[in-house]
Structure 1
Amino acid sequence: MAPAQPYFARLAGFPSVVVARADTGTTPAEAEAAATARASYAVADGHNLDLAATPPRRIALMVEPSPFTHTSGYSNRFKNLLLQLRDAGDSVLVIVPDNDPDAPTEFAGAKIVNVPGFRFPLYHRITLTLGLRGVYTALKEFDPDVIHLTTPGVLIFATLLYARLLRKALLLSYHTHLPIYAKDYGLGLLQGLTWTMLRLQHNRADFTLTTSPQLCEELVQNGFERVGLWRKGIDTTIFNPKYKSPAMRARLTEGHPEDPLLIYVGRIGAEKNLIFFKELLQRFPHCRLALVGDGPAKPMLEQELAGTKTLFTGILHGEELSQAFASADIFVMPSESETLGFVVLESMASGVPVIGANAGGIPDIIDDSRTGYLFSRGSQEECSARIEQLLGDDALRENMGRVAREEALRWSWRASAAATRNVGYGRAISNFKYRAMGGLGLPRSLTWLRWFRLKLVMLRQRLFGRWTFRVNPN
């Protein structure tokens, strides 16, 4: 029998699967099947990577917070998606919460509607919205074929209602792993409630995209329905070894360019596990560390790392950011909460090897011992051993950086957008039509067809026990 593949693999264009049940936990065969499914994503897209494989559509893109005035890991993803949707001939309306009077009203031919919002109490740089003013009117006037909303956020509550009232297909893309954030911010008791809330929200939608095979599996295991993979992408022109700069290295090492330079780029928050660097720098007192970014944990981290050779640069943009990536020796990623980890791809594209935690979406990016190194969650010993290995062998470090760059070249934004519009949006629309059949276009209405299907599912549960995944022999 061919290796099994999980439900989300089928939705992304893989061979047909059926869902069956077993009363045991994960078996070696199931683990092997999951690994096979993850490996398949790199090659199974086929004609879906043709940007114009499907006719132009009207797409309402709702992003919270705004990717235009807020620096975040997904800003580049959505900007590049808009550029590619324009090239595909799609008509796009963008709705974002933004109180900035200088917020843009157009990008790549797409109209931007900036709706009123409020600052998130736990992180004041983020603007969110309840979507009570301007959103419904904008959606109704635009009349989209599909609504694409980012999650988690507070805009989802209104959007679920609006999609139903307007009878439109709804795709949710999951970007921030909220259950892990709850744990990292001392709210571990709320993890179960968080999963329940997310599951209820996403199962009302027609399709969910998320950013790594590992996270797809985790969502499915926690009861999410209709889950697929959002293909990763990277701009290998902006992030490039050619930006390696002696002047930037001198700046990041505070005038000591001869010292080994470790770098981290990203949000400085508790969920990023950056306190990991405290013990790491005690093991390598001769190393310099550059932390590029900002966030609520910065004051605490500055205090914890006082006395070490650490430079907090703040947020860098444009060519300065490209130079910072390319001028380091090793990128260290201790975060265990990444849904993907764009900065890891950006470092690889810059020709700088990455040592990252074997958690979240990071293992989907790093091919251990070939394009970088993975270390077990929280393991100072493993991470230190890999740093010592790379710093002690210039040829190894340079070769790994070269191979990492070659891997990054495979993941263009054009291919990512093609898979999103052809598979993701197409699946959301077809799921909407199927789920609405006989129910006047209203998702989740209890039609005779849905009632009959529910009875079949209940019968299959009684016959087979717990669900697991097996290939359909047909």
Structure 2
Amino acid sequence: MTIEEIEEVVVEEEVPPPLLEANSRPRRIALFVEPSPFAYVSGYKNRFQNFIKYLREMGDEVIVVTTHEGVPQEFHGAKLIGSWRAADLTLVPSAAIGRDLQAARVTAANKIRLWNKGVDSESFHPHFRDHEMRLRLTDGEPEKPLVIHVGRLGVEKSLDFLKGVMDRLPGVRIAFIGDGPYKPELERMFSGMPAVFTGMLHGEELSKAYASGDVFIMPSESETLGLVVLEAMSSGVPVVGVRAGGIPDIIPEDQDGKTGFLYAPGDLDDCVSKVERLLSCTEFRETMGTAAREEMEKYDWRAATRKIRNEQYNAAIWFWQKKRAQLLGPIHRLVRRLFRAPEISYR
């Protein structure tokens, strides 16, 4: 059984029903943060801050526990897989990662759950669209169509694909928001073209940059989910993303052309045609942007926190209880056989 099938068909004897929020009592929650080489990746700090914020909003007491034993020596191979297998429930950011875990036989499919990262729908909102920011991103030509990309500028992000896209879109400008080791190569690649590199932006500047674009293109085929796609859609900007990694979890097939566009990996014609369609029709672009914003309200941090608290944590406890019963059951039966209660006769 695949993750997708489990999400669609909940079998009563395998999975407990979700805990209704109305019947949920406040909890005392300990959040353990283990040091690792990945502790400072993009979004790590905000992810925990928002998670804690909305747990407390629901009435829970949250204690954060960190260890100070140093970074573990290995984060790959058998040792890591062994720790995954010990989990009662494994949360993944996309179905693609879940399939990888299944293929590696890390855990059973029914013990894998999708938990999409939350998006800060208040910080990434269409009302941040800003004329001054658009002047900056278009290098003083705000009336020109503007394609944007936000994220780390790394070779693994397939950003060279955007050069081919822009070669076929005369008169369209592109802005790269972010920094990374591939930036000098990209600047050489786009030399003489209408391209702007802003470097890293934060806070309200980043919110304005998202909302001031016309179309967001995501060419990376290695995204586990694609937080920047969520943020662009939350900002009301239509996304044209590659059909790979976690992007199809955000723009599923039945929403392709409604809340965003997907294009086939490496298919330049497919990508360009969809970008052109959006840039050539303001009404269609605004309609898709509005639909994207409405869809992202399902991904806000309140919804994501509610899901893990009332549904996924409940499932983890259920699996733990089931495992404990399986381990202790034979012992209980043996004890009952060895220490049978004496028969009492009333004759």
TM-score by length of 2: 0.81
Residues 215 and 438 (structure 1), Cα distance of their counterparts in 2 relative to 1, 3 Å cut: closer
Report the alpha carbon displacement of residue 328 of structure 1 after superposing the two structures with TM.
Answer: 0.4
User: Is 1:237 matched up with 2:233?
Assistant: no
Indicate the RMSD between aligned Cα atoms, in angstroms.
Answer: 3.3
Question: 1:137 maps to which residue?
Answer: none
**SS where residue 410 of structure 1 aligns?**
helix
Q: CA offsets, 1:312-349, max 9 Å, x none?
A: 21111111111000100100000111111111111111
- Equivalent pairs counted in the alignment come to 324
Moved more, 46-55 or 288-297: 46-55
Paired with 2:167 and 2:236, the residues of 1 have a C-alpha distance of 27
1:6 aligns with 2:2: yes
Q: Could you tell me which amino acid in structure 1 is paired with residue 63 of structure 2?
A: V
SS in 2 for 1:409: helix
Structure 1 residue 427, shift from structure 2 partner: 3.2
Matched, 1:61 2:32: yes
Equivalence for 1:325: 210
**1:72-91 residue pairs with structure 2 within 5 A?**
72-87=42-57, 88-91=59-62
What are the equivalent positions in structure 2 for 1:14-413 lying under 5 Å apart?
14-16=9-11, 48=19, 50=21, 53=24, 55-62=26-33, 70=40, 72-87=42-57, 88-95=59-66, 115=68, 129-131=70-72, 199-225=81-107, 226-366=111-251, 367-413=255-301
Equivalences for residues 428-447 of structure 1 within 5 A: 428-436=316-324
Q: Could you report, residue by residue, the CA deviation over 1:116-138 in whole angstroms, capped at 9, with x for unpaired residues?
A: 8xxxxxxxxxxxx525xxxxxxx
- SS of equivalent residue, structure 2 residue 298: coil
Aligned to 1:320, the other structure's residue is in SS state: helix
Query: Cα offset for 1:285?
Result: 3.5
Report which of the two has the higher share of strand.
Answer: 1
8 Å CA contact 1:372–1:400 kept in 2: the answer is yes
Contact between 1:50 and 1:415, CA under 8 Å: does it hold in 2?
no
- The Cα of 1:256 is off from its aligned counterpart by 1.3
Could you tell me how far 1:75 is from its partner in structure 2?
A: 3.9
Instruction: Extract unaligned runs of 5+ from structure 1.
Output: 20-43, 96-112, 117-128, 132-153, 158-193, 441-446, 450-474
Which structure is higher in helix share? 2
The 8 Å contact of residues 60 and 94 in structure 1, kept in 2 or not, is answered as yes
State the 1:265 CA deviation: 0.8
Q: Percent same amino acid among aligned pairs?
A: 40
Contact kept? 2:37, 2:71, Cα under 8 Å: no
TM-score (norm 1): 0.61
CA contact (8 A) 1:47 1:53 kept: no
Give the Cα separation in 2 of the matches to 1:82 and 1:312: 34
What is the distance in 2 between the residues matched to 1:353 and 1:49? 34
Q: In terms of Rg, which structure is larger?
A: 2
- Give the aligned partner of residue 418 of structure 1: 306
User: How far apart in 2 are the matches of 1:274 and 1:332?
Assistant: 10
